[in-house]
Amino acid sequence: MLNLKELRVARGEGDERHEVYLPELALISGQVAAIVGPSGCGKSTLLEAIGLLLAPSTLQSYSLGKAKTDVAALLHNRNENTLASIRSKDIGFLLQNGGLLPYLSVRDNITLPRRLLGLPASSERIQHACAKLRLDALLDKRPSALSIGERQRTAFVRAMAHEPQVLLADEPTAALDPYAGAQLFDLMVSLVKELDMAALVVSHDYTLVDQFKLPRLAASLTPEGCCFAFAQ
């Protein structure tokens, strides 16, 4: 579902430059893996590069989705239209701050990705996800009237609403209590299997990562910056 080799991506300049290196990543359909590591090591940077929100400095190969789209070639040729379509259709991104649109209701935030793609606004899966994450009573509210955890659950449903091939989630349970966090992980793992997709999730919640037996893409420090590889 996602195969990538030799990704390097950098943030900052000069002494502030921080490079992240991922020698290899292979995710099969139905798989959820966790990106783990200390604060500031580059987990979000890595996720943003994989999600095509940040341009890599080096990328040997990157194929995405069932069609094995050659993303590395698209990036190399700066094929912005196709890259934009992959971002909106094939990738579901849950940003660390939620990224909800303040002037839309919870319902409209959740259904926006589907409406932009010309799909019916709602689906049985969305209704099930809203019920499981206890969002039903909040659908007419604006994000400013929600707690941070409620915003985070809304952002998760929005990231999955258009049934992307790959879900990239940056700390989706950071603001949730243990029960709500486990509910969200449980929903994510079952949706990923049901929809034949793959997911990468940045998480500091090692209890959940272990409980759901997720493979860990773990950070180690190198002279250049930070290198990620699957923990043995």
Ligand X SMILES: Nc1ncnc2c1ncn2[C@@H]1O[C@H](COP(=O)(O)OP(=O)(O)OP(=O)(O)O)[C@@H](O)[C@H]1O
Interacting residues with ligand X (CB under 6 A): 11-12, 18, 37, 39-45
Shortest Å distance, C-beta 49 to ligand X: 10
Q: Which amino acid is at 186?
A: D
Shortest Å distance, C-beta 231 to ligand X: 16
Of all helices (H) and strands (E), which one includes residue 64? strand 58-64
Tell me the C-alpha distance between 32 and 182, whole Å.
Answer: 14
Contact call for residues 117 and 88 (beta carbons, < 8 A): yes
Shortest Å distance, C-beta 70 to ligand X: 26
Shortest Å distance, C-beta 29 to ligand X: 26
Q: Which amino acid is at 87?
A: R
DSSP tag of 118: T
Q: Which is nearer to ligand X, 47 or 72 (CB)?
A: 47
How distant, in Å, are the alpha carbons of 2, 85, 195, 213 from that of 32? 11, 23, 12, 9
Closest CA to 169 of 180, 155, 154: 155
